């Protein structure tokens, strides 16, 4: 019997698990995929928003500002890259100037600090590659960037280090209410818990429906992105937004914490909750991004698509219709920024429902950064290599990732189990050749370390097998 | 201080090392990132290597062994599983491996022989999903020939580069069904003999002016949509055709791997992706030479060996203080000739100039012009982007000029 079961290993579930793991509680996270951070948390803009976007007095506004405040320390504790690069909302016409003024006022009401409106000259001085047609901008120095899946992986890893359990490939099919506890079942497994938090992202409405909660729905809004080579990462230093419209914040151009350049997202409401394909129309819209001059799209490394969970109320939904069962839905942007505060909000609510919180003595908020070897001095690297030769064998040439780091990613909570899992934890296969050289070597390491056959290695779990058998077998 | 450090122990690196040795250099070190010498030839188990160099049809490993054997016989030192992380302008090399950890070597001369990598799918901006089952042709070749596993059974190949053509045959021989090879351009980028022996002999259709416009499948690839493209290479949507398949192999171009060259501030050509070199294959940084596919992508390994011999011999001259430069002539090209190697000439001697054309042309003259004056002309029945061409430039044509233009004239 668990105290708290969290459905969904995205950034909301992960941040909640980590915050709860500071208390004397038995926690389990259920995830339907083969890894954590497989939904919106792996494919979004990676922005810690300053907090001027959301309407004043909304949950989005409150939790964004609070979450953004908490984020630097959390990133520090989890060893996650976080860069306070500031953001710019760029205006091109009188309409935009009006909106920027509104955003400024709203930001001030929301409690965003150091906001200011800058003119064309200062804008071009800050960002020489910004469009010549831009006439002004809202400058938010508190805006920051973070890697969303790195944050999620680290939060869940830290929760696990502090005792939380993670069950992968657990797709919740049935939830039954008993006297004082809940029974949650997949096709293969059942767990029981006093409290349940539904953080199932795109499927949070479906999970809520299982217990008869039809109070909200969530629909997907597609966002396509193009990621450019690291040699383009310096094109802009700030996150550059276009002035927003009814459909969202528009296409942004931003450096990533790893030094690439990100252009996106598009915005298209769809109905299929698993439809993450990129489209020719999407590429066209991205190629037309006009806030920044001369974006070198010929340096594209990859393109991808994420789905925002747009809730039916227009605000974040954190609600409960039955004692001991809380749902978090509609956590679209600024969900990543707000995630630490969403966790606090849910924990407050769990307290109201009767969950007793006793601080653990041995709680450790720190997680060794996944970048420790990369960032070590030459002397420290050599000391490590002398003890463990695997750190001297470079497997991924483009991103310089060693066998030692890959083995570590497999055996550090939450351990990587497939090729994409290695990619998100180490950046191996994420560089210019996209795994062309190192994929077979990584498959060997996965096979050896997990003691599973080479043939069973997948790209990302399920039926995503990389190979179909031995040679000569098909003859 | 090491006399000569060679980065890469593939065909270019080994050939350069042997040439430098034969020119009297003994203090040589080859740094190779893989677990064995031989580079990409190790996985090229098909034949057709060595026709020019040895008059024999060898497999890739056989060709590589001819060089590796000599490296062993002469006792030329090499380090395997060693990744070079950085090169400076001053020829300080930082590398790492399991035994030595991270270490630095100062070299009198460096030969860059890192080879090239395949252009990945991500760079193409193909619409659709991102399932398993999409590999570059070289990755598939490694899986099949080295690892002994089949990446799939029902294959479409995008791009008709030589590795794609070779893999069309290889997958067929292993029992897979190769449905089509789609090529964006109206001609193949591969060798004519590979089209014949790898596609035509196995009735695999080559669809010129076709590309993949969408990828389908959630977990594993379930199919691709292909379409014909117009003369501006834009897909014609009315010709879209869905092909069910579980594997998509990409052979859409090779990119010289010059990240290290950039760290040493070496001037690179935007056309070849490799260094700008003189007739000795010396880059813009004195004492750093480049050869093989890191310099420009070759069709035949035989030519790689030839080029590496020049680099090895001239690096030896540089180390011995014998390399002289007495002229400065830039070789320019028109649009029909994409590039030349070398791009500049610094010494008055007879030189073979290699070049590649931008399209298929028939009945042409290759002209070398000094201003408006044609100083050399040679007739060719057919030239194609997939086959490297060369001309002999006589020393006397270099007298008193600063620039020569290489032009292609249709007659």
Q: Are the Cβ atoms of B220 and A389 closer than 8 angstroms?
A: no
- Which domains, from first to last, does chain A contain? 82-142+220-308 (3.30.9.10), 372-456 (1.10.10)
Distance from CA of A374 to the nearest CA of B (A): 12
- By Cβ distance, the residue of A382, A397, A433 closest to B102 is A382
Q: Looking at the complex, does the CB of residue B102 fall below 8 Å from at least one CB of chain A? A: yes
Can you spell out the DSSP letters for B367-381? Answer: EEEETTEEEEEEEEE
Nearest CA in chain A to B121: A302
For chain B, which residues make up each domain, given as ranges?
1-118+253-323, 120-252, 326-411
- By Cβ distance, the residue of A378, A393, A467 closest to B81 is A393
What per-residue confidence (pLDDT) applies to A474? 62
CB-based contact A275:A231 (threshold 8 Å): no
What per-residue confidence (pLDDT) applies to B30? 98
Q: How sure is the predictor about A157, in pLDDT bands with cuts at 50, 70 and 90?
A: very high
Q: A53 CB contacts (<8 Å, ≥6 apart)?
A: A60, A64, A103, A106, A244, A249, A333, A334
- By Cβ distance, the residue of A226, A389, A474 closest to B174 is A474
User: How many CB atoms neighbour CB A245 within 10 A?
Assistant: 12
Residue A387: φ, ψ to 5°: -80, -35
What per-residue confidence (pLDDT) applies to A472? 83
What per-residue confidence (pLDDT) applies to B188? 92
Helix/strand/coil (H/E/C) assignment for every residue in A319-387: EEEECCEEEEECCCCCHHHHHHHHHHHHHHHHHHCCCCCCECCCCCCCCCCCCHHHHCCHHHHHHHHHH
Mean pLDDT of chain B: 96
Residues B298, B169, A455, A464: is their CA dihedral positive or negative?
positive
pLDDT at residue A340 is higher than 80 = yes
Nearest CA in chain A to B235: A280
- By Cβ distance, the residue of A394, A443, A462 closest to B96 is A394
Nearest CA in chain B to A378: B102
- By Cβ distance, the residue of B142, B214, B259 closest to A440 is B142
What is the average per-residue pLDDT within B144-172? 96
pLDDT at residue A248 is higher than 70 = no
pLDDT per position as a tens digit, A133-156? 999 999 999 999 999 999 999 999
Nearest CA in chain B to A396: B83
For residue A462, the chain B residues in CB contact (below 8 A) are 219
Q: Are the Cβ atoms of B132 and A390 closer than 8 angstroms?
A: no
User: How many CB atoms neighbour CB A310 within 10 A?
Assistant: 20
pLDDT per position as a tens digit, B253-282? 999 999 999 999 999 999 999 999 999 999
What per-residue confidence (pLDDT) applies to B257? 95
Residue B53: φ, ψ to 5°: -85, -40
What is the average per-residue pLDDT within A438-442? 96
User: A49 catalytic, yes or no?
Assistant: yes
Residue identified by tokens 């956590």 is A331
For residue A385, the chain B residues in CB contact (below 8 A) are 96, 98, 101-102
Compute CA B314 distance to the chain's CA centroid, rounded to the nearest angstrom.
21
- Distance, in Å, from the CA atom of B164 to the CA atom of B118, rounded to the nearest integer, reads 11
- pTM of the predicted structure, to 2 decimals: 0.95
Q: Are the Cβ atoms of B128 and A440 closer than 8 angstroms?
A: no
What per-residue confidence (pLDDT) applies to A431? 87
CATH dotted code for B120-252: 3.50.50.60
* Residue A366 preceded by cis peptide, ω within 30: no
Q: Which residue has the higher pLDDT, B121 or B160?
A: B160
- Distance, in Å, from the CA atom of B283 to the CA atom of B267, rounded to the nearest integer, reads 7
pLDDT per position as a tens digit, B56-72? 999 999 999 999 999 99
Distance from CA of A402 to the nearest CA of B (A): 10
What per-residue confidence (pLDDT) applies to A406? 98
Residue identified by tokens 């810690």 is A48
What is the average per-residue pLDDT within B163-191? 95
For residue B143, the chain A residues in CB contact (below 8 A) are 440, 467
pLDDT at residue A247 is higher than 70 = no
CB-based contact B342:B278 (threshold 8 Å): yes
For residue B172, the chain A residues in CB contact (below 8 A) are none
Same fold, B1-118+253-323 and B326-411: no
Q: Are the Cβ atoms of B150 and A385 closer than 8 angstroms?
A: no
pLDDT at residue B329 is higher than 90 = yes
Q: Are the Cβ atoms of A454 and B220 closer than 8 angstroms?
A: no
Q: Are the Cβ atoms of B120 and A432 closer than 8 angstroms?
A: yes
Residue identified by tokens 């020569």 is B404
pLDDT per position as a tens digit, B359-406? 999 999 999 999 999 999 999 999 999 889 999 999 999 988 999 999
What is the average per-residue pLDDT within A449-462? 96
Quick one: which H or E segment has residue B303? Answer: helix B301-319
Quick one: which H or E segment has residue B39? Answer: none
What per-residue confidence (pLDDT) applies to A475? 64
pLDDT at residue B120 is higher than 90 = no
Q: Are the Cβ atoms of B99 and A392 closer than 8 angstroms?
A: yes
For residue A393, the chain B residues in CB contact (below 8 A) are 81, 97-98
Q: Are the Cβ atoms of B152 and A381 closer than 8 angstroms?
A: no
- By Cβ distance, the residue of A226, A280, A433 closest to B117 is A433
User: How many CB atoms neighbour CB B407 within 10 A?
Assistant: 18
From A49, A139, A219, A238, active-site residue: A49
For residue B127, the chain A residues in CB contact (below 8 A) are 277-280, 282-283
Quick one: which H or E segment has residue B51? Answer: helix B51-54
Residues A231-236: contacts with CB under 8 Å, at least 24 apart: A231/A299, A232/A260, A232/A261, A232/A295, A232/A296, A232/A299, A233/A259, A233/A260, A233/A261, A235/A129, A235/A261, A235/A292, A235/A295, A235/A296, A236/A127, A236/A129, A236/A130, A236/A261, A236/A292
pLDDT at residue A29 is higher than 70 = yes
For residue B214, the chain A residues in CB contact (below 8 A) are 277
Q: A303 CB contacts (<8 Å, ≥6 apart)?
A: A224, A225, A226, A227, A278, A283, B122, B125
CATH dotted code for B1-118+253-323: 3.50.50.60
- Distance, in Å, from the CA atom of A406 to the CA atom of A370, rounded to the nearest integer, reads 10
What per-residue confidence (pLDDT) applies to B125? 87
Of B282, B300, B299, nearest in space to B291 by CA: B282
CATH dotted code for B326-411: 2.60.40
Can you spell out the DSSP letters for A102-157? Answer: HHHHHHHHHT-TT-EEEEHHHHHHH-TTB-TT--EEEEETT-EEE-HHHHHHHHHH
Q: Are the Cβ atoms of B125 and A300 closer than 8 angstroms?
A: yes
User: A443 by DSSP, 3-state: which?
Assistant: helix
Q: Are the Cβ atoms of A436 and B139 closer than 8 angstroms?
A: yes
- Distance, in Å, from the CA atom of A50 to the CA atom of A166, rounded to the nearest integer, reads 32
Q: Are the Cβ atoms of B98 and A283 closer than 8 angstroms?
A: no
Compute CA A154 distance to the chain's CA centroid, rounded to the nearest angstrom.
11
In chain B, residues 117-156 whose CB comes closer than 8 Å to chain A? 117-118, 120-123, 125, 127-132, 135-136, 138-139, 142-144, 146-153
Q: Are the Cβ atoms of A277 and B215 closer than 8 angstroms?
A: yes
Residues A423, A427, A433, A434: is their CA dihedral positive or negative?
positive
pLDDT at residue B121 is higher than 90 = no
Distance from CA of B381 to the nearest CA of A (A): 34
Q: Looking at the complex, does the CB of residue B220 fall below 8 Å from at least one CB of chain A? A: yes
Nearest CA in chain B to A455: B149
User: B227 by DSSP, 3-state: which?
Assistant: strand
Q: Are the Cβ atoms of A277 and B129 closer than 8 angstroms?
A: yes
pLDDT per position as a tens digit, A322-339? 999 999 999 999 999 999
Q: Are the Cβ atoms of B123 and A301 closer than 8 angstroms?
A: yes
- By Cβ distance, the residue of A279, A397, A440 closest to B127 is A279
Q: How far apart are the first and last CA of chain A?
A: 52
- Distance, in Å, from the CA atom of B8 to the CA atom of B17, rounded to the nearest integer, reads 10
CB-based contact B383:B361 (threshold 8 Å): yes
For residue A399, the chain B residues in CB contact (below 8 A) are none
Nearest CA in chain A to B237: A280
């Amino acid at each position: 019997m668990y105290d708290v079961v969290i459905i969904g290993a995205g950034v909301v579930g992960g941040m909640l698990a980590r915050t709860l793991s500071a208390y004397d509680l038995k926690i389990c996270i259920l995830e339907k995929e083969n890894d954590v951070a497989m939904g919106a948390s792996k494919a979004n803009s990676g922005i810690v928003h300053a907090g001027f976007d959301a309407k004043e007095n909304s949950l989005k506004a409150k939790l964004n500002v609070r979450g953004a405040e908490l984020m630097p320390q959390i990133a520090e504790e989890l060893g996650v890259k976080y860069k306070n690069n500031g953001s710019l909302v760029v205006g091109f016409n009188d309409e935009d100037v009006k909106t920027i003024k509104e955003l400024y006022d709203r930001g001030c009401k929301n409690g965003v600090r150091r906001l200011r409106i800058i003119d064309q000259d200062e804008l071009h001085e800050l960002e020489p590659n910004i469009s010549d047609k831009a006439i002004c901008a809202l400058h938010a120095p508190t805006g920051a960037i973070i890697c969303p899946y790195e944050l999620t992986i680290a939060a869940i890893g830290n929760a696990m280090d502090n005792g939380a359990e993670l069950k992968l490939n657990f797709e919740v099919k049935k939830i039954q209410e008993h006297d004082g506890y809940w029974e949650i079942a997949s096709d293969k497994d059942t767990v029981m818990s006093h409290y349940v938090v539904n953080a199932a992202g795109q499927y949070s409405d479906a999970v809520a429906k299982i217990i008869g909660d039809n109070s909200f729905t969530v629909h997907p809004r597609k966002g396509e992105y193009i990621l450019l080579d690291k040699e383009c990462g310096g094109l802009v230093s700030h996150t550059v937004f276009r002035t927003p419209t009814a459909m969202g914040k528009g296409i942004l151009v931003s450096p990533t914490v790893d030094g690439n350049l990100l252009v996106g997202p598009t915005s298209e409401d769809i109905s299929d909750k698993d439809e993450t394909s990129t489209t020719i129309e999407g590429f066209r819209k991205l190629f037309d991004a006009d806030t920044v001059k001369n974006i070198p799209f010929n340096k594209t490394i990859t393109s991808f698509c994420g789905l925002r969970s747009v809730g039916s109320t227009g605000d974040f939904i954190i609600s409960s219709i039955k004692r001991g069962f809380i749902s978090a839905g509609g956590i679209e942007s600024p969900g990543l920024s707000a995630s630490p505060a969403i966790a606090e909000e849910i924990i407050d609510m769990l307290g109201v429902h009767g969950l007793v919180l006793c601080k653990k003595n041995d709680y450790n908020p720190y997680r060794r950064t996944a970048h420790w070897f990369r960032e070590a001095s030459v002397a420290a690297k050599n000391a490590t290599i002398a003890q463990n030769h695997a750190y001297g064998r470079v497997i991924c040439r483009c991103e310089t990732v060693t066998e030692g780091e890959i083995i570590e990613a497999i055996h550090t909570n939450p351990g990587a189990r497939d090729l994409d899992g290695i990619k998100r934890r180490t950046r191996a296969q994420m560089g210019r050749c996209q795994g062309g050289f190192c994929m077979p070597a990584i498959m060997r390491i996965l096979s050896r370390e997990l003691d599973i056959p080479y043939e069973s290695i997948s790209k990302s779990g399920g039926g995503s097998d990389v190979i179909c058998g031995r040679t000569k077998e098909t003859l | 201080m090491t006399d000569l450090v060679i980065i890469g122990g593939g065909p270019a690196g080994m050939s350069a090392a042997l040439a430098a040795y034969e020119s009297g250099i003994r203090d040589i070190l080859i740094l190779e990132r893989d677990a064995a010498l031989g580079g990409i030839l190790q996985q090229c188990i098909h034949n057709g290597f060595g026709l020019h160099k040895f008059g024999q049809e060898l497999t890739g490993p056989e060709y590589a062994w001819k060089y590796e054997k000599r490296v062993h016989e002469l006792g030329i030192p090499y380090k395997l599983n060693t990744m070079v992380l950085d090169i400076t302008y001053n020829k300080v090399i930082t590398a790492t491996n399991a035994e030595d950890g991270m270490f630095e070597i100062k070299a009198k001369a460096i030969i860059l022989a890192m080879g090239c990598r395949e252009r990945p799918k991500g760079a193409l901006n193909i619409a659709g999903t991102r399932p398993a089952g999409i590999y570059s042709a070289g990755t598939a070749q490694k899986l099949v020939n080295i690892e002994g596993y089949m990446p799939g059974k029902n294959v479409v190949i995008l791009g008709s580069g030589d590795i794609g053509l070779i893999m069309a045959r290889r997958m067929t021989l292993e029992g897979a069904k190769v449905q089509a090879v789609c090529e964006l351009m109206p001609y193949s980028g591969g060798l004519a003999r590979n089209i014949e022996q790898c596609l035509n002999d196995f009735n695999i259709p080559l669809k010129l002016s076709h590309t993949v416009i969408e990828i389908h499948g959630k977990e594993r690839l379930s199919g691709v949509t292909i379409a014909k493209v117009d003369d501006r290479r834009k897909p014609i949507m009315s010709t879209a055709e869905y092909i069910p398949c579980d594997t998509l192999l990409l052979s859409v171009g090779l990119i010289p791997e010059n990240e290290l060259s950039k760290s040493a501030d070496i001037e690179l050509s935007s056309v070849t992706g490799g260094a700008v070199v003189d007739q000795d294959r010396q880059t813009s940084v004195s004492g750093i030479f480049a050869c093989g596919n890191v310099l420009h992508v070759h069709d035949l390994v035989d030519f790689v060996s030839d080029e590496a011999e020049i680099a090895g011999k001239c690096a030896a001259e540089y180390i011995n203080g014998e390399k002289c430069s007495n002229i400065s002539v830039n070789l320019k090209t028109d649009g029909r000739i994409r590039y030349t190697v070398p791009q500049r000439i610094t010494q008055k001697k007879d030189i073979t100039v290699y070049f590649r054309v931008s399209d298929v042309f028939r009945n042409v003259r290759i002209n070398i012009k000094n201003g408006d004056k044609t100083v050399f002309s040679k007739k060719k029945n057919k030239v194609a982007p997939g086959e490297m061409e060369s001309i002999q430039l006589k020393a006397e044509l270099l007298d008193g000029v600063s620039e020569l233009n290489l032009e292609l004239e249709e007659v």
